[in-house]
Amino acid sequence: MKKKSRFLQTPIEPFMVESGLASHEVLARMERISFQGRNLATAHRIWHRMLEDDVTIFLGMAGALSAGGLRLVVAHLIAHRYVDCLVSTGANLYHDLHETRGQRHYVGSPHADDAALAEEHIDRVYDTYASEDEFVANDIWIADYAATLELRPYTTREFLYLLGGHLWKTTKRDGILTAAYRANVPIFCPAIADSSIGMGLSQARQKIASAGHIDTIGDIVESANMVIQRPRTASIVLGGGTPKNFINQATVQAEFYSPQVAGHRYALQIVTDVPHFGGASGSSLEEAQSWGKLGADSPRVSVQADATIALPLLVSALATTAPPVLARRKVPIFTLASRTMTIDGQTVSSDRFEEVNEPAV
C-alpha cells in the first residue's frame, strides 16, 4: 500500500453549526477550516503566546476604526494590558476624543447625496456621519488646551498623555486616550500633523507663537530606546498605514545601536491591503523579515480582513480565554507625565539613542 503523503496529514473539518457557541469556541472550530477563517483563529493563538511570553506588545491602529465603532475595543485592550504601547493615526485618536467628549458618530449611507451633506455641515466616512460643527468645536478645545502648556517641544507620547489626562479630568469617560492615561500606556502618533489634532495644534500656535511644537523625531528616538531597554517585542497591526511602519522601524533603529535586538518575536496583522502593489500597508510579514523587522523564526499571521469584522470576534474570544494569562503577566511599567519617560524604572531618552556594545566573548 502506498505511503500517505506527508502533505496529507491534517484534514479540513467542516464547520458544524451549533447554537450557543461562545466566540472562543467558534474560533477553535475555525482552526480547521480554510483561508482567512483559519488565519483569524491562528491570530487568537499567537496573541495568547505573546501574552504568555515576556515581550513588549505594540499595537498599531490605522483606518477609520474609532469612527467605525471600535474605539472601546481598543480601550479595553489598553486598560487590561493586552498591549503595552499604542501607535495610532491622529484621526483615530481625534474621533475617540470626539466621542469621549460626549458627541457621536451616526449611521449613514455610502450612497448619500454628499452635496446635501455639505450643505448641512455633515462629514461622511463611507457609511458613517458626523457633525462638522462639532469637529470645529473639538479643534478649538484642543487648541485652547495646547495653548496652556509650557512653550517647549513635546513628543507625541508626552503630549497625548497630557491630552488624555485633561480629557479624563474634564469628562470622566472611557475611551482610548483616557484608558491610556489611566493605565500609563504610551501612545505615539508619528503622523499627528495629518489629522484634526494637528489642526488643533496649529490653531494653538495661531493664539500663541511657539505653542503646539511637536517633536516627532523625539518619537523615533524614544520608541527605539524602548526596544533597546526591552529587546523582546511583538507587533499587532490593525489596518497598516504609518503605525505599521513606525512599529517596525523602532526595531530596525534599535538594532543599529544594540546587538540584542533581532526584530519582533511575534507578529499579527489584520489588513485589507495586498502586497502586490508594493505599499507598506499590504506588505507581508515575510517581506518584513528582509528588513530585520521580524525575527526569522517568529510566529506570525496575516489576516486579510476588515478589522470591523475580525477584531470584535478576536477580542471577544480573548476576553474569555486570556484573563488567567493576563493575571500572571508581568507588564512593563511606564511613567509618562514628563518629557523623559521611564520603563521599569529605567530612563528612556527622546534625545539620544542608548548604545549597547557587543557582549564580551
Placement of cell 495646547 in the chain? 146
What does the DSSP assignment read for 232-278? -EEEEEES-HHHHHHHHHHHHHHHHH-TT--SBSEEEEEES--GGG-
Whole-Å CA distances, 261 to 83, 95, 251: 20, 35, 7
Helices 35-52 and 23-30: angle between axes, nearest 10 degrees: 110
Instruction: In whole angstroms, give the CA distance from residue 155 to residue 166.
Output: 17
**Three-class secondary structure of residue 202 per DSSP:** helix
Residue 113 CB contacts under 8 Å (≥ 6 apart), including other chains: none
What DSSP state is assigned to residue 130? E
Instruction: In whole angstroms, give the CA distance from residue 349 to residue 218.
Output: 8
- Please list the active-site residues: 293
End-to-end CA distance of the chain: 55
